[in-house]
Amino acid sequence: MDVRKGFRIVMQVAVLYLFFLLGEAVVAFFGLIIPGSVVGLLLLLTGLLTKVVPISLIEDGAKAMLLFLPLFFVPATVGIIEYPEFLSSRGALLIVMVLVSTCISLISAGWTGQLLERHSGEAEGEG
């Protein structure tokens, strides 16, 4: 990877972090009960949908962060392994809940993606 691409990725991750900080500031200012990260994500989504924020401003940084996403789950997995009594008493129920919630998440994300793609195709066809 050349230096310019690495710098661009770092700057795009910084833009994503700024949206997180903006969300935290909005939550602190208005005293909302929604997490600041969710508010920041909604602000980013609004900016992308209204084309105020061009996708090229965050695309490479977001892709780079997604590459490292599995690493964020390692501490949670290690934490669960530290408490085997939790898994023994309710392990089967926990596994079923995780599988069901994962399926619901995948189905809803796929459906939303298809809906947005269809909407985007219709909007391009009109223009």
Pairwise CA distance, residues 75 & 71, whole Å: 8
- Token pair 């009960």: residue: 33
pLDDT reading at 127 higher than 60: no
Whole-number Å distance between alpha carbons of 44 and 53 = 8
Residue 89: per-residue pLDDT: 66
- Which pLDDT score is estimated for 97? 86
Element (H, E) at 57: none
Of the candidates 73, 70, 56, 67, which has an alpha carbon nearest to the alpha carbon of residue 15?
A: 56
3 state DSSP class of 18? helix
User: 60 pLDDT band (50/70/90 cuts)?
Assistant: very high
Quote the pLDDT of residue 28.
Answer: 96
Residues 65-104: tens digit of each pLDDT? 988 887 777 766 676 677 776 667 677 777 788 889 999 9
Please check whether residue 80 is in contact with residue 87, taking contact to mean a CB–CB distance below 8 angstroms: yes
- Separation CA 29–CA 33 (nearest Å): 11
Global pTM value: 0.60
Q: What pLDDT digit, counting tens, does each position of 5-45 carry?
A: 889 999 999 999 999 999 999 999 999 999 999 999 999 99
Helix 74-81, helix 84-126: angle, nearest 10: 160
